[in-house]
Amino acid sequence: MADSNPSPPQPQYPLKARMFGWLAAGLIRLVCLTIRYRVDDRAGILDSPPDHPMLWVFWHNRIFVMPIFYRRYLPSRKGAVLTSPSRDGAVIASAIGCFGVGSVRGSTSKRSVAGLLALKKWVNDGNDIVITPDGPRGPVYHLAPGLIKLSQATGAPILPIRVEYDSAWRFKSWDQFRVPKPFSRATVILEPLETIDPEAEGDSFEAAREHVQKILNPNDETD
């Protein structure tokens, strides 16, 4: 988005969260210096960036390379990442802040009304939002309904992003978090923008949710 539309101010995090966040950002920078990116821009946004907010969506375990992708390919966009209100969420928020990305603490579950209201304000102010829709605790590769509700409430289209590593370490966490190995390749696929019918509810709402989930899991892969 235009620089004349500044992002809202960010909160100060506890010292420990800031320290771990700084270390995490340093690790991301160090590893990603060696990563070869391959970008498949099916959405066409790199050549013609839209003049409206978007909801970036990718799985929780693929977040590692995305801050560098953002800084390298779409640095003019303004936005924030949805992070959980937990201590881990504070570390993530602090880390992404090192890349010039804001954060909104909350959840995409149906119960998180406050989180959705905060996200709506960010979008209405002209900012993108980044959501890992199976976070913060899963189930892995399951798209929470709050993303669809946010798109309906704001009119912002969804940008599904798939990230694949040709070689990566896999953690024994709930999401089997991936860290690409140095000198490997990260393929980032920007799928076409998806617009959600603001009137969709019931079966049509669930069909929209399943459709976006299917785009992120094109082969029903749950590895």
Does the pLDDT at position 106 exceed 70?
A: no
Q: Which two tokens stand for residue 183?
A: 């000198």
pLDDT 10s digits, 175-218: 999 999 999 999 999 999 999 999 999 999 999 999 999 999 98
Examine the pLDDT at 108 and tell me if it is beyond 80. Answer: no
| pLDDT tens, residue by residue, 51-80 | 999 999 999 999 999 999 999 999 999 989
Domain membership flag for residue 146? yes
Residue 7 has pLDDT above 50, yes or no: no
pLDDT at 5: 45
Instruction: Give the integer Cα–Cα distance in Å for 110 and 104.
Output: 16
Query: Per-residue pLDDT for 143 more than 50?
Result: yes
Q: Is residue 165 part of a domain?
A: no
- Has residue 170 been placed in a domain? no
Say what the pLDDT of residue 212 is. 98
**Four-point Cα dihedral 131, 55, 103, 24, nearest 10:** 50
Q: Is 8 inside any structural domain?
A: no
Cα separation, 195 vs 152, in Å, equals 9
Greater pLDDT, 51 or 115: 51
Residue 10 lies in a domain: no
Q: Is the pLDDT of residue 126 over 80?
A: yes
- Nearest one of 74, 77, 73, 64 to 29, comparing CA atoms: 64
How many residues does the structure list for the chain? 223
**pLDDT confidence of residue 104:** 84
Residue 19 lies in a domain: yes
Is 3 within a domain? no
114 to 104, 138, 146, 220: CA distances (angstroms): 11, 20, 12, 32
pLDDT tens digits, 146-166: 999 999 999 999 999 999 999
Determine the structural domain holding residue 39 and report its residue range. 15-160+175-216
Determine the Cα–Cα distance for residues 149 and 141; give it in Å rounded to an integer.
18
10-44 pLDDT, tens digit per residue, is 556 778 888 999 999 999 999 999 999 999 999 99
Residue 201: inside a domain: yes
What whole-number distance in Å separates Cα of residue 103 and Cα of residue 92? 9
Tell me the longest C-alpha to C-alpha distance in the chain. Answer: 47
Tally the domains of the chain: 1
Confidence (pLDDT) at 82: 84
Q: Which of 58, 45, 59 is nearest to 1 (CA)?
A: 45
Q: H or E element: which one contains 128? A: strand 128-131
